[in-house]
Amino acid sequence: MRSILNKLLTAMRGGVNELGEAVVDGQGNRILEQELRDSEQELKQAKQELAALMAESASLARQIRSEQDNASKREQDARKSIAAGQEDLAREVAERIVGHERRAVELTQTRELLQQRIAGLKERVQRAEKQLADYRRELQVVKTNERVLRTTAQIDTNINSQKSSLNTAKETLERIRERQAREEDRQTASATLEKELTGADLDEKLKAAGIDGEQDAIDNVLARLKDSPAQ
């Protein structure tokens, strides 16, 4: 990932931004995509193998348990035979027990080897998954970069072809200010209109001329109260 980012930065600083000048060439891109496909393939195979080995290990565990169960069952048989004085029968059962125990030991050894292979394979799967995520991220960066370059080139060509919309930041700012001024004017106008409709503007004018309806009312009440003093 770091090498890709460095390549991109070097190319950008060098001004490789024109249309058709891909920063990481098509060849590099194809190599990345091939590596991605190879990793995906490897991961798929490793996972299938892992699943098969795990199934085999589970089957072995079942077989081991079965041999151990049989051995302990036969031990009871052997004890009963001895108690019944059937020495020959007990010997025959003992032979069976030895057979079960041997198979259990053999199967356990096989299973241990299998567990080691499973552990190794799990590690391989994890490595492949990590590598796959790395490749995907790299490819995404490269592809997005190319897309942005192609897109902006397309926008520029388009803007340049219709001269009217070719704007400098200063012209854009001028137009923003004009619109904001228009909006402000509209707001002022609508506020004025609202005042006129509610008569608030007239009240303001009267107040400014020293004619205050509210104050007059209070004065009138006071005068009335003074005319009829409390008894």
Partner 1 sequence: MDIQTLTLALGDSTHAGRRFDVMPITGDEPVLQVTVSGAEETPVYLTVTDTQILCLAYLFDEQELNPERLNELHENMLRLSVPMPLSSLGKTGDHYVVYGALSPTSGAAEIMQELVTLAENAIDLLQTFEDYLA
Q: Would you tell me which residues interact with partner 1 (CB under 8 A)?
A: 17, 140, 143-144, 147-155, 157-158, 168-170, 172-173, 175-176, 179
DSSP secondary structure letters along 97-124: HHHHHHHHHHHHHHHHHHHHHHHHHHHH
Phi-psi region at 199: left, alpha or beta (left = phi > 0; alpha = psi -120 to 50): left
Cα within 13 Å of Cα(165), Cβ side: 8
Q: Two tokens at 111?
A: 């299973």
Task: Work out how close the CB of 176 gets to partner 1 at its nearest, in angstroms, rounded to a whole number.
Answer: 5
Please say which residue, 80 or 177, places its beta carbon nearer to partner 1.
177
Task: Work out how close the CB of 40 gets to partner 1 at its nearest, in angstroms, rounded to a whole number.
Answer: 16
Task: Work out how close the CB of 38 gets to partner 1 at its nearest, in angstroms, rounded to a whole number.
Answer: 20
Task: Work out how close the CB of 138 gets to partner 1 at its nearest, in angstroms, rounded to a whole number.
Answer: 13
- Nearest-CA neighbor of 93 among 70, 60, 116? 70
Please say which residue, 116 or 167, places its beta carbon nearer to partner 1.
167
Q: 96 near 31, Cβ under 8 Å?
A: no
Please say which residue, 148 or 217, places its beta carbon nearer to partner 1.
148
Task: Work out how close the CB of 134 gets to partner 1 at its nearest, in angstroms, rounded to a whole number.
Answer: 16
CA distances to 35, 175, 213, 215, 222 from 218, in Å:
92, 53, 9, 5, 6
Backbone angles phi and psi of 68, in degrees to 5: -65, -40
- Nearest-CA neighbor of 57 among 128, 102, 119? 119
Please say which residue, 118 or 153, places its beta carbon nearer to partner 1.
153
Q: Two tokens at 39?
A: 């990793």
Task: Work out how close the CB of 136 gets to partner 1 at its nearest, in angstroms, rounded to a whole number.
Answer: 9
Please say which residue, 93 or 149, places its beta carbon nearer to partner 1.
149
Please say which residue, 42 or 146, places its beta carbon nearer to partner 1.
146
